[in-house]
Copies of this chain bind each other. A is one copy, B any other.
Amino acid sequence: MSEKIFPFLRWVRGYRRSDLNNDMIAATVVAIMIIPQGMAYAMLAGLPPQAGLYGAVLPLLIYAAFGSSPSLAVGPVAVVALMTAAAAGNVAQDGGPEFQLAALWLALLSGAMLFAMGILRLGFIASFLSHPVISGFITSAGLLIAASQLRHLLGADIGGRTVLEIVPSLMRNIASPSWPTLALSALTLGFLIWSRTGIARLLQRLGLGAPLARLLGKTGLLIAVAGTTLAVWLFGLQAQGVAVLGEVPRGLPQFGMPAVDLTLIQLLAAPALMIALVGYVESISIAQTLAARKRQSLDPDRELIALGLSNLGAGVSSAMPVTGGLSRSIVNYDAGAATPAAGAFTALLVGIALLALTPLMFHLPRATLAAIIVVAVLSLLDFRALPRTWAYSKADGAAMAATMGVTLFVGVEPGLLAGVGLSLVLYLYRTSRPHMAVVGQVAGTEHFRNVERHAVVTDPEVFSIRVDESLYFPNARALEDRIVQALSETPGLRHVVLQATAINYIDASALESLEAINDRLHAAGVQFHLSEVKGPVMDQLQRSHLLGDLTGQVFLTQFDAMQALAPRITEACLRTERCDTLLARP
């Protein structure tokens, strides 16, 4: 067995007692978070609570075996749960068996895609999701997630997937909440927000050491869950209209391949890709941030493979799509997780909970889970990102605003697509206008510079142009347009020289443009020359017809070109200090 295939062999061999200690402590803290969060995110995804718990068993064991980050805490996360709900809701009735099947196929498909991207080293595909798009998407997703929990927080019938649906539904139903539910929600929300720093501060004031106090400070979720469950049971709040979780099946997940439905799979392919990419981008940036703190680095391809296998594991164990979660990973890191074994221990603890604790969850109020979700997504909201990005770059700000607006008002998939599409269009727009400079000779030198910035001399029969970028399909036409324009503006033109100093690559579209330029200049009786073509570009051009068809020559330097095409002016300019006086411009 090789470490390349089973990365866990790397750390298993040197595993020490102190590692075990650290990993167990971290696993316990993470398990305390992931049990309520997993159920909450399953509820957010429209799935039964056990789907979230199952998502914290097999996927975590798989990540521990194949992942390279000791700190990344894999499992159900809020944004992916929302995307699952949206994608499954597009193809099936909410909550039905077809809906659950769709969620499993989303896990399988996104898992297979991540795995394939890792094996084929296609991680760069994730760069389609530019930072403004991801950031805007996550803020809007956070808002939608919080809004979707209003039904549980208020105990009222508020539905919808977009702002346009949720707001009217809220208006209709806000006047008739379940008051006991609302009170419980308010208390739980208040407690959870306070507990994020409050418990640790309190324990420290009571004399506990800071590290232990910080660790115990993470028990806010546990206290909220236990407290509200107990309250419902003791005071019979269920009879007062407080909705509870109800029966969670006892025992470990059933394993097996979900039913194959090709139409369903086809419909889910695109959303699965989005889930895969969003999940991966979030996960890799958390993992890299935490790795850098220990001066470690991650192999992105290995992470793709590990996340892919984890999702395949989720798909065959009745779970839901998973990825690395921000808050749990930070807690895991802070609690001192030393190796990926911490994740495996978390899975064991969740497994024990599944075997022993599910009966205790019967009276857990849905409002508590909703409060947990709302508090978790508060950290996702970044409203200042939009003005900040807009101030930095209008194009990036526009992409972010489009992503946010479309996500809120149309839906999560259209939102991501709009953002990615607009980013690409704006990027191509920028790229389609490369910097081009008409160049002339600097007096007394063999140098050529931009005519607009320097006092240089040009020959009226020769048009020399320098393009400061590689020639690709987005900008191929720009050069064509510029040269055709020069041709129509310069009646005495006899030569065009393309100074290729900054061109590192010429793709087939640009090659075709150069051929077209050559043909058009030829038809107008003008010769087309190249100068200062780099070695690799010349090698590439040798494999084309261009050099054979070229009406002019390829010159080593721009000076050589001008010496051959306009010897009188070029030589004269080399000998004087002020060659702009040599030639009255026509």
Interface positions of A (Cβ within 8 A of B): 124-128, 130-132, 135, 285, 288-289, 291-298, 300, 388-389, 391-393, 395-397, 400, 423-425, 427-430, 432-433, 435, 468, 472-477, 480-481, 484-485, 487-489, 491, 504-505, 507-509, 511-513, 516, 519-521, 523-524, 540, 543-545
Contact yes or no, A516 B429, CB < 8 A: no
Copies in the complex: 2
Q: Which of B132, B292, B432 contacts A520 (CB 8 A)?
A: B292
Please give 12 more A-B residue pairs, beta carbons under 8 A apart, in addition to A131-B513, A423-B473: A124-B428, A130-B508, A288-B516, A289-B516, A289-B520, A292-B524, A294-B524, A295-B491, A389-B508, A393-B507, A424-B424, A435-B504
18 chain-A/chain-B pairs, Cβ below 8 angstroms? A127-B475, A127-B476, A128-B428, A288-B480, A289-B516, A289-B520, A292-B487, A293-B520, A293-B523, A295-B524, A296-B488, A297-B485, A300-B481, A396-B507, A423-B473, A427-B472, A427-B473, A468-B504
If A473-B423, A487-B297, A512-B131 touch, whether A521 touches B292 (CB-CB below 8 Å) is yes
Please name the residue on chain B nearest to A482 by beta carbon.
B297
Q: Specify which of A126, A127, A468 lies most central, judged by the most chain B CB atoms within 10 Å of its CB.
A: A127
**Chain B hits for A428, CB < 8 A:** 124-125, 127-128
A556 and B291 alpha carbons, distance in the complex (Å): 32
Contact B131 A473 (CB under 8 A): yes
CB distance from A506 to the nearest CB of B (A): 9
Query: Shortest distance in angstroms between A356's beta carbon and chain B's nearest beta carbon?
Result: 39
> Closest B-chain residue to A490, C-beta based?
B295
Q: Report the minimum CB–CB distance from A462 to chain B (whole Å).
A: 16
**Which residues does chain B contribute within 8 Å of A291, judged by CB atoms?**
484, 488
Please, how many angstroms separate the alpha-carbon atoms of A263 and B295 in the complex? Answer: 56
Known A288-B520, A292-B520: A543·B392 in contact at CB below 8 Å: yes
Beta-carbon contact of A511 and B288 below 8 Å: no
Q: A396-B508, A424-B424 are in contact. Are A131 and B476 (CB under 8 A)?
A: yes
User: Quick check: B396 and A127 within 8 Å, CB to CB?
Assistant: no
User: Which B-chain residue is minimally distant from A297 (CB atoms)?
Assistant: B488
Give A292 to B483 CA distance when docked, in angstroms: 10
Chain B residue at minimum C-beta to C-beta distance from A525: B295
Q: Do B130 and A519 touch across chains, with their CB atoms under 8 A apart?
A: no
Q: What is the CA–CA distance of A289 and B524 in the complex, to the nearest angstrom?
A: 10
Separation in Å of the A514 CB from the closest CB of chain B? Answer: 11
Chain B residue contacts of A427, Cβ below 8 A: 472-474, 507
Task: Tell whether, in the assembled complex, residue A396 and residue B297 are in contact, meaning their CB atoms are under 8 Å apart.
Answer: no
